[in-house]
Amino acid sequence: MSRRNQAQDPDPVLITTTEALSELCARLRTEAFVTVDTEFMRERTYWPELCVVQLAGEHEVAVIDALAEGLDLAPLGELLADTAVTKVFHAARQDVEICILRFGAPPKPLFDTQIAAMVAGFGDQASYDSLVRGLANASIDKAHRFSDWAARPLSAAQINYAAADVTHLRRVYAALVDRLTEDGRLSWVAEEMAELTDPATYRQDPETAWERLKPRSSNRRFLAAVRAIAAWREREAQRVNIPRQRLVRDETLMEIAATGPTTANDLSRARGISKGFADGKTGAGLLAALASAKELPEAALPEAPKESRQGPPASPALIALLKVLLAAKAEEHHVAPRLIASSDELERLATENEPQVPALHGWRRQVFGQAALSLKGGKLALGVEGRKVKLIES
């Protein structure tokens, strides 16, 4: 950090009591915006364990010890719910998930500087470090990035590291807002925030957990087994609060679905399944879930994932053309290509007439989607002019 910034930034205050937190949040609720970050642990748990919350307003920076004995975080929840104060995060998805778990709702209104940076042309998933260097003229001390935030007491170095994140974020936010306002793109960021603050985005539905495994099979009976034991694993991992992979690894789950064990002895032969696991209540629960899937009538079996169904394959040449068009449009508008359209969306655009994908809605359609449809329809061609791709309307 430059000497000028050091002079401007107040020393962080450690908050460990409900009274101090309430007073802090009351002051911050008079601000136009506050910057927010969290430190949490989830390596050994299914649910993230909130350890520290950092807040910064215009004139103060605070580090809240979320594990402090007797601390009630309700005032923080009220601040995050105050629609008169914009909450600024960087790469907010995991922070928002924690807020929903702790307070029942996402912070609103919300501004994510990572998404804003992608809209402003800083590339795919612009790192916080690069934005701090480029927009705040500062640098990040990475020494405590992998700190044990659940250990107490918090050290002075940990507190300063945590506070620096929200301190620099104020300047990053201000610079991005200025740039996006000048380019007329603040509304683009607002569109992205709608999904980010939708509680459905974070809902852990055991019945759809199997879809994350992307089984490449059209055998509906096998898919029913995958669905049943993936749902069982999700519920059991939530119940005992351990990571799903620590309970049963993905590859083991797929093996069990394929082999269909009916006894504890059969189950213990699967890779990664111990005899104790198979003989105990956990193994019995898994076997029961598998047995229920085997009894399903044909009509209740899940359909194969779309990518596993038979159908005309996408033309590799057309996908390649769409990729070139995407790169050209991203370059023209100074927007990260990944924010405009994903690889899956390009494949759907190549195989379906007008698929329901984000690339064909809102600002994305204006920037890329309409041109993609014109390219498919033969109304647009690609050429080269100098060192740039040229769009030729026919």
Structure tokens at 286: 């898994």
25 and 123 inside one domain: yes
Structure tokens at 188: 């683009």
Of the residues 160, 187, 202, the one at which a domain ends: 202
Q: Which pLDDT belongs to residue 144?
A: 74
300 belongs to a structural domain: no
First-to-final CA distance of the chain: 54
82 and 177 inside one domain: yes
343 and 267 inside one domain: no
328 and 354 inside one domain: yes
Tens of each residue's pLDDT in the chain, 394 residues: 333 344 467 899 999 999 999 999 999 999 999 999 999 999 999 999 999 999 999 999 999 999 999 999 999 999 999 999 999 999 999 999 999 999 999 999 999 999 999 999 998 878 999 999 999 999 888 777 778 999 999 999 999 999 999 999 999 999 999 999 999 999 999 999 998 999 988 988 999 999 999 998 999 999 999 999 999 999 999 999 999 999 999 999 999 999 999 999 999 999 999 999 999 999 999 999 999 999 999 999 999 876 554 457 789 999 999 999 999 999 999 999 999 999 999 999 999 988 999 999 999 999 999 999 999 999 999 999 998 999 999 8
CATH number of the domain bearing residue 231: 1.10.150.80
SS3 113: helix
Q: Which pLDDT belongs to residue 92?
A: 97
Q: Count the neighbouring beta carbons within 10 Å of the beta carbon of residue 136.
A: 21
Domain count of the chain? 3
Question: Domain range holding 139?
Answer: 13-202
308 belongs to a structural domain: no
Per the CB < 8 A criterion, the answer to whether 157 and 143 are in contact is: yes
What are the Cα distances from residue 325, in Å, to 119, 123, 169, 335, 355?
18, 17, 34, 13, 18
255 and 338 inside one domain: no
26 belongs to a structural domain: yes
Distance of CA 36 to the CA centre of its chain: 16
78 and 194 inside one domain: yes
SS3 304: coil
What is d(CA 181, CA 341) in angstroms, rounded to the nearest whole number?
23
**Which contiguous run of DSSP H or E holds residue 266?**
helix 264-267
Rg of the chain over Cα atoms, rounded to whole angstroms, equals: 25
Q: Count the neighbouring beta carbons within 10 Å of the beta carbon of residue 318.
A: 16
What is d(CA 347, CA 359) in angstroms, rounded to the nearest whole number?
12
146 and 60 inside one domain: yes
SS3 325: helix
Residue 311 exposed, middle or buried by CB count within 10 Å (0-12, 13-18, 19+): exposed
User: Where do the DSSP E strands lie in the chain?
Assistant: 13-15, 33-41, 49-56, 61-65, 86-89, 110-112, 380-385, 388-393
94 and 21 inside one domain: yes
96 and 232 inside one domain: no
SS3 56: strand
CATH number of the domain bearing residue 37: 3.30.420.10
Per the CB < 8 A criterion, the answer to whether 89 and 53 are in contact is: no
311 belongs to a structural domain: no
Q: Which pLDDT belongs to residue 126?
A: 85
234 belongs to a structural domain: yes
Q: Which pLDDT belongs to residue 146?
A: 78
118 and 31 inside one domain: yes
Of the residues 265, 295, 325, the one at which a domain ends: 295
What is d(CA 320, CA 316) in angstroms, rounded to the nearest whole number?
6
160 and 114 inside one domain: yes
258 belongs to a structural domain: yes
Per the CB < 8 A criterion, the answer to whether 162 and 175 are in contact is: no
307 belongs to a structural domain: no
333 and 184 inside one domain: no
46 belongs to a structural domain: yes
What is d(CA 61, CA 232) in angstroms, rounded to the nearest whole number?
44
Of the residues 144, 174, 202, the one at which a domain ends: 202
